[in-house]
Amino acid sequence: MASTPPGQRRMQILQALAEMLEQPKGDKITTAALARKLAFSEAALYRHFASKAQMFEGLIEFIETSVFSLINQITERQDDGLAQARDMVAMLLQFAASNPGMTRVLIGDALVNEDERLQQRMNQFYDRVELALKQALRVAAAEGQAPEAEATARASMLASFVLGRWHRYAKSGFKQHPAQDAALQIALLLA
């Protein structure tokens, strides 16, 4: 029987962890439960990840890579600053809807009682998202679509709006789509 390549096994572990995070109850995930789900020993988990924190770092890395590559695509594809900001918010809401387990990482729910540096890393993620929104709104200001002085405040409001929608989505047990009824609110925030 052929062995599974290490990179593929790591991905299986991260996918299983993300699936376990999709459970609406939000119970704390243990390495024992994760190993049971994968049908291998905890020792096998630790051959691929030195700690559970490293597993969460793998999920955060996936989130960062995915989100920021999509933000880069939006800014390259879209010249209009307001459209960039609108598309970024829509993408962030859709990312959560497509990755419910990751939403628990995004809102910090899955990181409670884990290594503090994980939450710090998520805080840096939010700062980078807010910076991308601020840059889009500065582009809008340069185009005469919005006042430059409001770029920072509007970017903060948009980032808070997204975070609130992610929380609502998680609290609904991943039933209420995060973008539901969001278009009008986004338009008002950008007006």
The radius of gyration of the chain from alpha carbons, rounded to an integer in Å, stands at 18
Contact yes or no for 93/182 (Cβ under 8 A): yes
For the chain, the straight-line distance linking the first and the last C-alpha, in angstroms and rounded, comes to 61
List the chain domain ranges: 52-190
Residues 187 and 89: their CA atoms lie apart, in Å, by 11
Dihedral sign of CA atoms 157, 160, 162, 165 in order: negative
User: Which tokens belong to 14?
Assistant: 């991260």
Which CATH code fits 52-190? 1.10.357.10
DSSP-assigned letter for residue 39 = T
Tens-binned pLDDT, residue by residue, of the chain (191 aa): 456 676 788 999 999 999 999 986 766 789 999 999 999 899 989 999 999 999 999 999 999 999 999 999 999 999 999 999 999 999 999 999 999 999 999 999 889 888 999 999 999 999 999 999 999 999 988 888 777 778 888 889 989 999 999 999 988 888 888 887 777 677 767 76
Backbone angles phi, psi at 145, to 5 degrees: -85, -20
